[in-house]
Amino acid sequence: MDTNTKYLGLEIKSPIIAGSCGLTNDISKLEQLEAAGAGAVIIKSVFEEQIIYDIKRNLSMMAPTDNYGMSYEYIASHVADDSLGKHFELIKEAKKRLHIPVVGSINCYSFENWMTYTQRFQDAGCDALELNMAILPYETTLSCEDVDRLFSDIINTLRKSVSIPISIKVSQNFTDMANFMQRLSWMNVNGITMFNKALNVDVDTDKMELTHAPSLSSPDEIYNTLRWVAILSKKLRCDISASTGVHTADDVVKMLLAGAGTVQVVSCLYKNGVEYMRTLNDGLRDWMNKKGYESIEQFRGKLAAKANEQSSMLYRTQFMKHFAQI
Ligand SMILES: Cc1cc2nc3c(=O)[nH]c(=O)nc-3n(C[C@H](O)[C@H](O)[C@H](O)COP(=O)(O)O)c2cc1C
At 114-123, the pLDDT tens digits run 777 888 889 9
Q: How far, in Å, from the CA of 197 to the mean position of ligand 1? A: 7
Half-sphere exposure for 319 (CA within 13 Å, toward CB)? 7
Q: pTM above 0.85?
A: yes
pLDDT value at position 101?
Answer: 98
Choose one of 90, 197, 255 to mutate for the ligand 1 pocket test, by most ligand atoms within 8 angstroms of C-beta: 197
- Helix (H) / strand (E) element for 226: namely helix 222-232
Closest Cα to atom 12, ligand 1: which residue? 20
Of 70-84, 144-158, 220-234, give the lowest mean pLDDT range: 70-84
What is the mean pLDDT of the segment spanning 166-182? Answer: 93
Report the DSSP pairing between strands 41-42 and 102-107: parallel
Measured in angstroms, how far is the CA atom of residue 22 from the centroid of ligand 1?
8
Least confident of 74-88, 98-112, 277-291, 303-317: 74-88
Can you tell me which atom of ligand 1 is nearest the CA of 47? Answer: 8
Q: How confident is the model at residue 54 (pLDDT cuts 50, 70, 90)?
A: low
Tell me how long the chain is: 326
Nearest CA to ligand 1 atom 17: 20
Atom of ligand 1 nearest to the CA of 269: 26
Interval between CA 114 and ligand 1 midpoint (Å): 20
**Nearest ligand 1 atom to alpha carbon 221:** 25
Of ligand 1's atoms, which has the minimum distance to the CA of residue 215? 31
Of the candidates 27, 18, 22, 28, the one whose C-alpha atom is nearest the C-alpha of residue 44 is 22
pLDDT at 283: 98
Which of 132, 196, 266 is the pocket-test mutation for ligand 1 (most atoms within 8 Å of CB)? 266
First-to-last C-alpha distance (Å) of the chain: 41
Residue whose CA is at the smallest distance from ligand 1 atom 22 = 244
What is the CATH architecture of 5-323?
Alpha-Beta Barrel (3.20)
The protein residue whose alpha carbon is closest to atom 30 in ligand 1 is: 21
Q: Say how many Å lie between the CA of residue 107 and the centre of ligand 1.
A: 12
Instruction: Return the pLDDT at 113.
Output: 74
Asked if 68 and 101 count as a contact pair (C-beta separation under 8 A), the reply is no
Nearest to 42, CA basis, from 169, 155, 130: 130
Dihedral sign, CA of 83, 131, 52, 173? negative
Q: What confidence tens digit (pLDDT) does each residue in 23-33 have?
A: 999 999 999 99
Task: Give 73's pLDDT tier (boundaries 50, 70, 90).
Answer: low
Query: How far is the centre of ligand 1, averaged over its atoms, from the C-alpha of 326 (Å)?
Result: 40
Cα 35 to middle of ligand 1, angstroms: 21
Q: Are 24 and 30 in contact (CB under 8 A)?
A: yes
Cα(65) to centroid of ligand 1, in Å? 42
Nearest to 284 by CA among 267, 266, 265: 265
Domain ranges of the chain: 5-323
Residue 164 pLDDT level (bands cut at 50, 70, 90): very high
Residue 259: pLDDT over 70: yes
How much of the chain exceeds pLDDT 70, in percent? Answer: 86
Q: Ligand 1 centroid to 33 CA: how many Å?
A: 16
Ligand 1 atom closest to the Cα of residue 195 is 19
Are 290 and 247 contacting, i.e. CB atoms less than 8 angstroms apart? no
Residues near ligand 1 with C-beta < 6 Å? 19-22, 44-45, 105, 132, 169, 196-197, 215-217, 243-246, 265-267
**Distance, CA of 78 to CA of 72 (rounded, Å):** 10
Q: What is the CA radius of gyration of the chain?
A: 21
- Per the model's pLDDT, the better-predicted residue between 88 and 57 turns out to be 88
Q: What is the average pLDDT score of the chain?
A: 89
Buried-state track 214-248, b at ≥16 Cβ within 10 A, e below 16: eeebeeebbeebbebbbbbbebbebbbbbbbbbbb
